[in-house]
Structure 1
Amino acid sequence: MPYLRPVPAEQSAPHPGEEPGRDAGARPVPGHDPRVQWAVSLAVVAAGLLTIRPMGTSGRGLAVAVLFAVNSAALLARRLPEHKVPPRLALAWLTLGVVAAAALIGLSSSGTGYLFAFFLAGHIGYRLDTRPALVLAGVCSLLCGAVLYLRLGPGHELLPWMFGLTTGAPVLVGIVNRTQRQAVRAAIDAAESAERAARAEARTAVLTERGRIARDVHDVLAHSLAGINMQLELVDALIDTGDLEKVREAHATAHALVKESLRQAQWTVHALREDVLPLRETLASMLASSGHRDALTVTGTVRELPAPAVQNLLRIAQEALTNAARHAPGAAVDAELAFAPASAALRIRNRPATRPAAPGAGSGMGLIGMRERVALLGGTLTAGPVTEGPHQGDWQVEAVIPQ
Structure 2
Amino acid sequence: MFSIARPHRDDVILASVGLSGGLFLWLVGIHVQNGRLFEAPWVSLLPLAVISALELLRRSAPQTALAVGTLALVADQFTVGSLATLLMFTDLVYTAVLYGTPAAARRIPVTTLLVTVAVTAGFIAWIPSADALLIGIVTGLLSFGPALTGVSVRNHRDAAESARLRADQTALLAEMDRVQAVTAERSRMARELHDLVANHLSAIAIHSTAALSIDEPGTSRDALGVIRRNSVDGLAEMRRLIGLLRESGAAGPPSAAPTLASLDALVGQAGANSASSGLTVTLDDDCEAAGPLPAPVELAAYRIVQESLTNALKHAAPGPVTVRLRRSREALLVEVSSVLGDRPGPRAPGSGAGLVGMRERVALLGGTFEAGPEPRGDDGKTWRVRAGLPVAEGAYGA
- Tell me whether the two structures share a fold, i.e. TM-score over 0.5: yes
CA displacement at 1:154 relative to structure 2: 7.8
SS of the aligned residue for 1:378 comes to coil
| Counterpart residue number, 2:276 | none
Q: For the aligned residues, what is the CA RMSD?
A: 5.5
SS of the aligned residue for 2:334 comes to strand
Question: Quick check: 2:204–2:230 contact (8 Å CA) kept in 1?
Answer: yes
Mapped partners of 1:331, 1:123: distance in 2:
86
| Counterpart residue number, 2:390 | 401
Mapped partners of 1:57, 1:50: distance in 2:
10
Question: Quick check: 1:122–1:173 contact (8 Å CA) kept in 2?
Answer: yes
Instruction: Please say if 1:373 is aligned against 2:361.
Output: yes
Mapped partners of 2:201, 2:149: distance in 1:
76
Mapped partners of 1:367, 1:139: distance in 2:
73
| Counterpart residue number, 2:235 | 262
| Counterpart residue number, 1:347 | 334
Q: After superposition, where does 1:385-396 map in structure 2 within 5 Å?
A: none
Match of 2:65 among 79, 90, 93: 93
| Counterpart residue number, 1:168 | 143
Report % sequence identity.
23
CA displacement at 1:374 relative to structure 2: 0.6
Mapped partners of 2:360, 2:179: distance in 1:
19
CA displacement at 1:286 relative to structure 2: 6.3
SS of the aligned residue for 2:347 comes to coil
The number of residues matched between the two structures is: 334
Mapped partners of 1:227, 1:188: distance in 2:
58
Question: Quick check: 2:195–2:307 contact (8 Å CA) kept in 1?
Answer: yes
Q: Does the C-alpha gap of structure 1 residues 297 and 312 become closer, same or farther in structure 2, counting only changes over 3 Å?
A: closer
Instruction: Please say if 1:120 is aligned against 2:92.
Output: yes
Q: Does the C-alpha gap of structure 1 residues 125 and 311 become closer, same or farther in structure 2, counting only changes over 3 Å?
A: farther
CA displacement at 1:335 relative to structure 2: 7.5
Match of 2:132 among 154, 158, 161: 158
Amino acid at match of 1:261: G
Question: Quick check: 1:374–1:380 contact (8 Å CA) kept in 2?
Answer: yes
- TM-score, normalised relative to structure 2: 0.58
SS of the aligned residue for 2:366 comes to coil
Question: Quick check: 1:345–1:401 contact (8 Å CA) kept in 2?
Answer: yes
Q: After superposition, where does 1:1-400 map in structure 2 within 5 Å?
A: 49=21, 53-56=25-28, 80=59, 85=60, 89-101=61-73, 107=79, 114-129=86-101, 132=104, 134=107, 157-166=131-140, 167-170=142-145, 171-175=147-151, 177-178=153-154, 181-182=157-158, 185-186=161-162, 188-238=164-214, 241=215, 243-266=216-239, 268-269=241-242, 274-275=250-251, 276-278=253-255, 282-285=259-262, 287-288=264-265, 291=268, 297-300=287-290, 302=292, 304=294, 312-320=300-308, 322-323=310-311, 338=327, 340=329, 343-345=330-332, 347=334, 359-360=346-347, 363=350, 365=352, 366-382=354-370, 398-400=387-389
| Counterpart residue number, 2:35 | none
Mapped partners of 1:130, 1:247: distance in 2:
86
Amino acid at match of 1:360: R
CA displacement at 1:205 relative to structure 2: 4.2
Question: Quick check: 2:258–2:299 contact (8 Å CA) kept in 1?
Answer: no
CA displacement at 1:229 relative to structure 2: 2.4
CA displacement at 1:135 relative to structure 2: 6.4
Mapped partners of 2:331, 2:257: distance in 1:
12
Question: Quick check: 1:118–1:168 contact (8 Å CA) kept in 2?
Answer: yes
Amino acid at match of 2:332: A
Q: Does the C-alpha gap of structure 1 residues 188 and 221 become closer, same or farther in structure 2, counting only changes over 3 Å?
A: same
Task: Give structure 1 stretches of 5+ with no counterpart.
Answer: 1-17, 19-37, 388-392
Question: Quick check: 1:279–1:310 contact (8 Å CA) kept in 2?
Answer: no
Mapped partners of 2:178, 2:88: distance in 1:
53
Task: Give structure 2 stretches of 5+ with no counterpart.
Answer: 1-7, 31-38, 270-282, 377-381
Amino acid at match of 1:162: G
Q: Does the C-alpha gap of structure 1 residues 188 and 53 become closer, same or farther in structure 2, counting only changes over 3 Å?
A: same
